A and B are shown apart, each in its own frame.
Chain A
Amino acid sequence: MSKRLSFATLAVALPLAFASPVAHAATPADTVVIAKQIDDILTLDPGEAYELSGIEIATNIYDRLLRYEAEDVTKLVGGVAESWTISPDGKVYNFKLRPNLKFQSGAPVTAEDVAFSLQRVVLMNKTPAFLFTQLGWTKDNVKDLVKATGPNALQVTITEDFAPSLVLNLMTSIVASVVEKKVAMANEVNGDLGNAWLKSHSAASGAYRLVAWKPNESVTLEANPTFRLGAPAMKRVVVRHVPEPASQRLLLEKGDIDIARDLSPDQLAPLAENKAIRIEQFPGANTWYAAMNTADEHLKNPKVREAMKYLVDYNGMVNSFLKGRFIVQESFLPLGFFSAIAYNPYKLDVAKAKALLAEAGYPNGFELKFDAPNTSPFTEIAQSMQQTMGQAGIKLNIVPSELKQVIGVYRARKHQLLLISWGPDYFDPHTNADTFAHNDDNSDTPKVRPLAWRNHWYIPDVTKDMLAAAKELDTKKRAAMYADLQRKVTDEGPFIIMFQNTAEVASRANVKGFKGGITEDLNFYRTIKK
């Protein structure tokens, strides 16, 4: 018996032996570890990357022609450019580069490199190429329209009419990242301009150098000691893929990471009392909305659409499960953008909605398919809408699926009601106006597929106004035009525009200086200190 028992003893003792308490070491003093969901990264080539996390990493690796810098994110300043002039007709831009800039390889940054970098975007024609092709650049003309006119002089010509502020803002976006031509071309395969190699390597002059990108695991960056604004304080930045907010919080509390980026309000609330952790808020610029397909027999009725805008508990959500993460913003421009207005005419009003529905001929409501991504907080928002719409008899049948699947349904215009978010491409109102208020070709094969098109909202007149605003040279007039557009879309559009996001970042108390911006282009690592 005693022998048999000894096995039982062993069975109990062994796991205990494993389970000796673990000493938790903080992260190294010259390294900052950021936990973030980064499985959206497909490439880190700045001429190709267009995923949120990819843009954030690239903006910390590559310097750009122009920038908004961490020190004042509202002021347009030169990146590699020192100064610039614009021809009176707004078509020719001359940039003078800063002297003595160096790539991380040690080679000087020349106008030739910058011209190559911009041309490359158009020649490769990857996803973000549209940012440049809308200027009239094509594969055939880009080498003439974008050229080095001296070792430090770059000339850029556009063929379309665009307000200069818009063009300059485009030069702050990811496609204006400066790549070292020699390195890219040395790694060229089959005429890809170095694309395959640059997916996971860097040839840059920015604050950091890419050490390694392990997909779905981590991105490791190393400080560039020769960066034009001085070497960053943190020698290493590790962005670690931690998909679960709950895990991010645990790791942060244990000191295994320094900064957690994706915590939800329910995780942040208890952290507020923790002295070792600091929570900061940064404004975001994503617009969260529900799209109503006007090809649907119910939703083509403007009264129905208006009623549905009254059937969302905007404030209830923002004050409970979305607390701190979103603000109510019912117009299509996020606050912080040029000419954005805080126009919020709708709040939950079941009685008014019922009246509108009765007028529209649906006193007893109707049923709708409601496509929504199956992740938090989409799921919660969808369920909240389901309940409030139900109070007026509109029965929502939620179809939760992967985000990419929802986007597929949306692009194919196969939805009735669909929950999704939109993020701006660059820091100018045109980026959102061009999609929420653009549809002058409602056929199934238009040249572009803006959000208005996706909802069959055919608005040739509004589109004309929108295009005029993009060209308006007078800033005041331009702002007024965008204000009109915003009201128009909120009142009549097929969008229940609900929220603008806020980034809440929790960090260890000793880690300071992370800068979160309104877009991913403005998330700075170089300012972090310990």
Chain B
Amino acid sequence: MSDVTLRADLGHWRGWLLDQAPGSRWQARLGRWYRAWLGFRRNGLAMTGFGVVLLLVGIAIFAPLIADREAATLQVLTQRLEPASWQHWFGTDELGRDIYARVVFGSRITLTIVALVSAIVVPVGLGIGLPAGYFGGMVDAVLMRITDIFLAFPRLVLALAFAAALGPGIENAVIAIALTTWPPYARLARAETLTRRRAEFIEAAELQGASHLRILLTQIVPLCLPSVIIRLTLDMAGIILTAAGLGFLGLGAQPPAPEWGAMVSSGRQVLLDQWWVATIPGMAIFITSVGFNLLGDGLRDVSDSRAG
């Protein structure tokens, strides 16, 4: 392989991926993903969303390189509420802190929240939905009743209540949001499981004496994952908005952490005269949430066209 040029190598891989008669399950699966990516790449809006999300991740990772970490928390009481300048690109806030640095470092908080909520919600949703759909009967009745209870709650109020009960801190905000976000995933996983439950290869596995756990983990989970992931991408904007809403109401991150929602909240007192203090973090929330929505939309389109 060492004497082949990179381009030819890539071409080879491409051919392998798009092979109409894949030689293995892996090749078929990767091929499907690759074709989906090709479809996704043609969708301009989706690519924009993908770009925004990538940019956000980049900003979060390289935050210390593009902004001064000190400036995000350093108070200069003599330089309060200054408009944008070369020194402070987005101006300063009510304690004389640099808004640009705060917005940049705030991206880390937002992404952390999104990542952690996802990491909780998917396993919990699958953990409740899969057994419900797979076993049916009493298990289903009990698990789905619990899900219904959480669904019937006013979501933001529930998140507020949890956040208030758990106290301030990003971890607690994550738990509060996750507790109110998992039910739809349980329903989704249950529905997916129900449609696959009687598939031949699963019955075959059962006949071969595979344990329920093994079947759930190896056969059903991979089938459910794509739709769960698409749903998750679509929900991410919602998670960001909920987190910002909690911050806005004074719950969530601890000061002086530059959480965007809390920044909007503190800036609203000076909205009339120093509009940038509240507006710029608000824009950051908005753009991020648009990015995730575009991405999710694109992913769903791709999956729809695959299904259809």
B78 touches A376 (CB 8 A): no
A270 touches B269 (CB 8 A): no
C-alpha spacing A374/B266, complex, angstroms: 11
B78 touches A320 (CB 8 A): yes
A321 touches B254 (CB 8 A): no
Chain B contacts for A185, CB-based, 8 A: none
Cβ of B271 within 8 Å of any chain A Cβ, yes or no, is yes
C-alpha spacing A384/B168, complex, angstroms: 19
- Flag A26-44 by CB within 8 Å of B: 1 or 0 each: 0000000000000000000
Interface of B, helix, strand, loop or mixed by DSSP: loop
Cβ of B167 within 8 Å of any chain A Cβ, yes or no, is yes
Q: How many residues of B contact A (CB 8 A)?
A: 26
Q: Which of B77-95 contact A (CB under 8 A)?
A: 77-78, 80-81, 94-95
B94 touches A321 (CB 8 A): yes
C-alpha spacing A317/B271, complex, angstroms: 21
Q: How far is the CB of A347 from chain B (nearest CB, A)?
A: 14
Cβ of B111 within 8 Å of any chain A Cβ, yes or no, is no
Chain A contacts for B95, CB-based, 8 A: 321, 380, 383-384
Chain B contacts for A376, CB-based, 8 A: 266, 269
C-alpha spacing A269/B269, complex, angstroms: 13
Q: Which of A319-377 contact B (CB under 8 A)?
A: 319-321, 374-376
Chain A contacts for B251, CB-based, 8 A: 374
Known: A383-B255, A399-B168. A375 touches B94 (CB 8 A): no
Partner of B80, one of A245, A264, A321: A321
B168 touches A400 (CB 8 A): yes
Partner of A382, one of B80, B94, B96, B255: B255
Q: How far is the CB of A410 from chain B (nearest CB, A)?
A: 16
Q: Which of A374-414 contact B (CB under 8 A)?
A: 374-376, 379-380, 382-384, 386-387, 397-402
Cβ of B200 within 8 Å of any chain A Cβ, yes or no, is no
Question: A246's closest neighbor in chain B, by CB?
Answer: B269
Q: How far is the CB of A236 from chain B (nearest CB, A)?
A: 29
Instruction: Report A's interface with B, CB cutoff 8 A.
Output: 244-246, 249-250, 264, 266-267, 269-270, 313, 316-317, 319-321, 374-376, 379-380, 382-384, 386-387, 397-402
Supplied contacts A374-B250, A384-B77, A387-B74, 8 more A-B pairs, CB within 8 Å? A244-B269, A266-B81, A267-B270, A319-B77, A387-B75, A398-B254, A400-B168, A402-B250
- 7 tightest CB-CB pairs across the interface, nearest first? A374-B250, A320-B77, A266-B270, A316-B77, A398-B255, A387-B75, A270-B273
A-B contact pairs, 26 of them (CB 8 A): A244-B268, A246-B269, A250-B272, A266-B81, A266-B94, A266-B270, A267-B270, A320-B77, A321-B80, A321-B94, A374-B251, A376-B266, A383-B75, A383-B95, A384-B75, A386-B255, A386-B256, A387-B75, A397-B254, A398-B254, A398-B256, A399-B254, A400-B168, A400-B254, A401-B167, A402-B250
